Structure 1
Amino acid sequence: MVAQPTSEMYGPVFSQKISLCAIVKDEETLLPRCLQSVQNIVDETIVVDTGSTDRTVEIARQFGATVYQHAWNDDFAEARNESLRRAKGDWILVLDADETFIPGCFLELQRAICSPDCLAVTLLRQEIGAQQNPYSLICRLFRRHPQLQFQRPYHETIDESVAALMARESHWTVVSLPTPAIAHDGYSPEAIAQHRKSERAERIMSRYLQAHPQDAYICSKLGALYVSQGRNPEGLALLQQGLALQPEAPAIAYELHYHLGLACAANHQLDLAQQHYEQALAAKFPDVLKLAAYINLAALYSDRHAWTEAEALLTRALKIQPECAIAHYNLGLIYKAQGNFSAAIAAYQKAIALQPNSAEAHQNLGVVYFKQGQVLESLAAFQQAIALHSIDNPAEAQRLRQTLADMGWQV
């Protein structure tokens, strides 16, 4: 368990009061960890419950939260704004039950919100378990102000109202924290299946977009959802619709080009995919949020045997995120294709150290060990690959077992 900060850690009592605002429904499993992470940081906890049937409300009250009931209307912004209406602190911190606050960044946060002209703080969120998109940037800490409200019923943000207030009152500033402040594990396959997020997201966003066809942000989000489901024609149409709106926000432009790159690659339109990935990387957007575009563009170069360009992109990706297992794995593929087996072994070993359950990495490691003449090491790697394939892909495990048997190896 991570030690929680205390007032002694931060010196004098902090003068700015912070209200945690959360909306929940049936979150008895995750909520305790979320509330514990801010127990010594926030001055009040506001929980808006939208219809829980488990122990969520009881748990929230055990942590000292004030709980309000609000009927669910398929509108996240509405529920969040209800929580803002109930808060009394100087600042609002918004968390979901599947998020935790990372206390190590509190001193930076404290310095930021002590500035009289700071209106909001953009926070870096760590996406737990995500291989290619380990971070996202979200505005979840802002002054309690009547003109700051969430907008859109899904993928709701405070950003538009922050920008509108800053346009009217030019002294306000927005600060970005460089270190991760929130950890999020809500997009694991298990969590998505449990909450049926995809179905809900499509229902809410498609209805909203019918009434707001000029919203490039929702075009991006809904188009990306369709692409992730293999519905490329629908996804491409929406992403192109969003791009035609010429969004000024770099984050939206990046996402549109990135997901267009995915869709075009799936359609084997590799030149178009490359163009979109390059435009995504050109967006004035923090490099730490572009990791997936670097990796995917490197894969396109690898497919064309442009090894130097692919290696350069993956090297850049690893400077951004040294613990990116897929970047190490893809470097291994490049080195193996070039016959640089020693470098390939080192790359695969790094990938396995970061992601021990990757059957493909163990299998490729077995191949390069064999090419190096390291038979015992090769056999051990293949055995591990078979064991892992047996869990998720029995057919591949049997194929690999038969291939080795044909070579006279008993596994």
Structure 2
Amino acid sequence: MSISLCMIVKNEETTLPKCLNSVKDFVDEMVVLDTGSSDRTPEIAQQFGAEVHHFQWTNNFSTARNAALKYVTGDWVLVLDADEILNPSIVPQLQDAMQSDEYILINLIRQEIGAVQSPYSLVSRLFRNHPEIRFERPYHALVDDSVATIIQKEPHWQVGYLQGVAILHTGYQKRAIAQNNKYIKAQAAMLEFLATHPNDPYVCSKLGALYVETGKLSQGVELLLRGLKQASGRSSQDWVTANQSAENYEILYELHYHLGIAYNHLKQPQPALEHYQAAIKLPIYPMLKLGAYNNLGNLLKDAGDLNNAKKAYETALKIDPDFATGYYNLGMTLKALNLFTDAIACYQKAIKLNPYYAEAYQNLGVVQLKVGNLQASLTAFKNAILLHEQQQNIAEAKRLHQGLYEMGLIK
């Protein structure tokens, strides 16, 4: 059972080595399609033993990915981007799943490292080298539609899901987005698709979320509501056969989730609350709901409903016990409830998971001071100041230092 890595790249000399190093002992073949690099990306790929091909970029990710697929010879195809790495702990599960005779596609959990929203996503990146599998949609290229069509004709196939994080993705960090001009590329590709598919729920979800992220709230809400209307109303056979119910639920989740974010930005907490609650009720993989539970907790906490906020954060942490932001938010809620000992434990857990969590150190200092642990408080505050300075949050570092000075805690 052979497996091929299939990638499209452009100017990825910084991130590509980590990506290829993460898979070099797992895949039998590396196929890299370069779409116009001006740096050392092709040479780096060749140094790892990759077969490098060249392609003229057409502002359509699916076209490029399908061109790359033509060069693949393995029984299975693993698709990665240069800003992703394969989690080594998932490899035994991947190998077992590929041995199964019934799977044509295996969906993988991707962790969005450093993302402000949506810490996890489900991606269709591991599939058989089937002649009828192809990518569709111009930006968030998917094979799901073609796989659904194959399953209609060949019903012995199934779609599999693996538990545990398979792919670590750094591309949604703010610095990476800015450096790679990702928002502009995404918007251009999706607007072109939207012109010919104005009511497609998927593109409404993705482009609507992009508009919300970039502050175009009214445009984002309009698209998200349009997509929600279409996705909610399509119980007809054409929707089910083309997209499968699981994918429909995931799109519905994203539409509700991003509407929650949009209405929160618009200072409309009630519709935001309703959309987060609707998102949580959908029958999708629990880890994908993490963002909705966390944002729901934030909304309830801001409204003063501390007990229900606490429940939302606790549910998020049951889903992902390594969710540092969840521990921080739970700590903030416990602090507001005057449960200081429990709050301290939450901040300490958040810091253990993320040693660079300046805000967790800062609030740990506050609570330690409240319970009379002066030395522990000063240590936490000093760590917070240092981290704020390292992270270029100079104004907050100065404000915190001045506050400690005025309280007579430091000279």
**TM-score, normalising length: structure 1:** 0.91
- TM-aligned CA distance change 1:348 to 1:87, over 3 Å: same
Q: Structure 2 unaligned segments of length 5 or more: list them.
A: 233-244
Aligned to 1:59: 44
2:34 maps to 1:35: no
Q: Deviations over 1:254-307 (max 9, x none)?
A: 000000000111111111111000010011111111111111111122122222
| Paired amino acid for 2:119 | P
The answer (yes or no) to whether the contact 1:132–1:326 under 8 Å persists in 2 is no
* 3-state DSSP of counterpart to 1:246: helix
The answer (yes or no) to whether the contact 1:122–1:139 under 8 Å persists in 2 is yes
Match of 1:125 among 110, 114, 125: 110
| Paired amino acid for 1:313 | A
The answer (yes or no) to whether the contact 1:74–1:153 under 8 Å persists in 2 is yes
Aligned to 2:7: 22
Task: Tell me how far 1:150 sits from its aligned partner.
Answer: 0.2
Aligned to 1:321: 320
Which whole-Å CA distance do the structure 2 matches of 1:65 and 1:235 have between them? 40
- TM-aligned CA distance change 1:21 to 1:324, over 3 Å: same
Aligned to 1:228: 213
Match of 1:183 among 168, 182, 196: 168
Which whole-Å CA distance do the structure 1 matches of 2:378 and 2:90 have between them? 46
Aligned to 2:74: 89
Which whole-Å CA distance do the structure 2 matches of 1:309 and 1:326 have between them? 17
- TM-aligned CA distance change 1:378 to 1:17, over 3 Å: closer
The answer (yes or no) to whether the contact 1:51–1:71 under 8 Å persists in 2 is yes
Q: Deviations over 1:60-81 (max 9, x none)?
A: 2222222211100111100100
- TM-aligned CA distance change 1:43 to 1:356, over 3 Å: closer
Which whole-Å CA distance do the structure 2 matches of 1:383 and 1:116 have between them? 57
- TM-aligned CA distance change 1:145 to 1:193, over 3 Å: same
Task: Tell me how far 1:132 sits from its aligned partner.
Answer: 5.1
Aligned to 2:240: none
Aligned to 1:5: none
- TM-aligned CA distance change 1:408 to 1:44, over 3 Å: closer
Aligned to 2:235: none
In the TM superposition, what are the counterparts of 1:164-313 in structure 2 within 5 Å? 164-246=149-231, 249-313=248-312
The answer (yes or no) to whether the contact 1:131–1:324 under 8 Å persists in 2 is no
Task: Tell me how far 1:131 sits from its aligned partner.
Answer: 6.2
Q: Deviations over 1:13-44 (max 9, x none)?
A: xxx22222111112222222222222232222
- TM-aligned CA distance change 1:278 to 1:58, over 3 Å: same
| Paired amino acid for 1:31 | L
- TM-aligned CA distance change 1:70 to 1:294, over 3 Å: same
Which whole-Å CA distance do the structure 2 matches of 1:371 and 1:313 have between them? 26
* 3-state DSSP of counterpart to 1:183: strand
Task: Tell me how far 1:111 sits from its aligned partner.
Answer: 2.6
Q: Which moved more, 1:27-36 or 1:223-232?
A: 27-36
Task: Tell me how far 1:58 sits from its aligned partner.
Answer: 1.7
Aligned to 1:344: 343
Q: Which moved more, 1:390-399 or 1:174-183?
A: 390-399
The answer (yes or no) to whether the contact 1:132–1:291 under 8 Å persists in 2 is no
The answer (yes or no) to whether the contact 1:274–1:300 under 8 Å persists in 2 is yes
Which whole-Å CA distance do the structure 1 matches of 2:63 and 2:274 have between them? 39
| Paired amino acid for 1:397 | A
CA RMSD of aligned residues (A): 1.8
Q: Deviations over 1:80-139 (max 9, x none)?
A: 001111212222111111222233333322232223332111112222234653322111
Q: Structure 1 unaligned segments of length 5 or more: list them.
A: 1-15
Aligned to 1:69: 54
Aligned to 1:3: none
Q: Deviations over 1:224-265 (max 9, x none)?
A: 111111221111111111101125511100000000000111
* 3-state DSSP of counterpart to 1:245: helix
| Paired amino acid for 1:192 | I
Which whole-Å CA distance do the structure 2 matches of 1:121 and 1:72 have between them? 28
- TM-aligned CA distance change 1:167 to 1:394, over 3 Å: same
Match of 1:143 among 120, 128, 140: 128
Aligned to 1:395: 395
The answer (yes or no) to whether the contact 1:132–1:324 under 8 Å persists in 2 is no
Which whole-Å CA distance do the structure 2 matches of 1:32 and 1:372 have between them? 49
In the TM superposition, what are the counterparts of 1:94-109 in structure 2 within 5 Å? 94-109=79-94
Which whole-Å CA distance do the structure 1 matches of 2:203 and 2:68 have between them? 23
Which whole-Å CA distance do the structure 1 matches of 2:398 and 2:48 have between them? 51
| Paired amino acid for 1:151 | E
Aligned to 1:157: 142
